[in-house]
Structure 1
Amino acid sequence: MAAVLKAGSRFKSAVCDTQVMLVKAPAGEHVLSCGGVEMIAPTATGGGTPAPEFAGGTMIGKRYVNADESLEVLCTKGGAGSLALNGEALQVKQAKQLPSSD
């Protein structure tokens, strides 16, 4: 079920321990999932296991982005499932290179 995502919102996975906070969200309605299952409110209860194709895992403290970086989430608790937006896998955001000082 697609929903409007807002920066500052928190979600948890329904199928693993992953928890995230949205840093930047795209306009419109989207489906944020973990382990192949739509993410749920932090107070809701889930169950099950991540789908094999979405079992890459998440790491605490890492930021994850989609291809055009219109979505950015911060992983606040790692888990076995991997994150996706509308079925497209999210990638770990790469650190920006600092300019050299020579």
Structure 2
Amino acid sequence: MKKNYWLDWILFISGLICIVTGLMLDFHLISGGREARLFYRHIHTYSDYIMGVGLLLHLIWHKDWISMATKRFWAVKMPLLRTRKQSKTRAGAFYSRTDH
């Protein structure tokens, strides 16, 4: 629980830095010349790297939940797909020689 709390804060802060510096670079809100833009571009890039690593850690730490949620999602969707396919095959829509 504690690692998720700190990881969430790191993701939030790095994402916020990435958004703010991206907007500043995009709308040319940086004064000070080329060196200042380069400085903010480095901040933007490295905050993005931190956010990417944090995202990977987040996915690794939650892989069991992701797996369970995916299985539950497809368990709900698959019976609906099977029923539709069976009703179409009963009507002869997908009948072929290999379906005997």
| TM-score, normalised with respect to structure 1 | 0.21
| TM-score, normalised with respect to structure 2 | 0.21
Greater Rg over alpha carbons, structure: 2
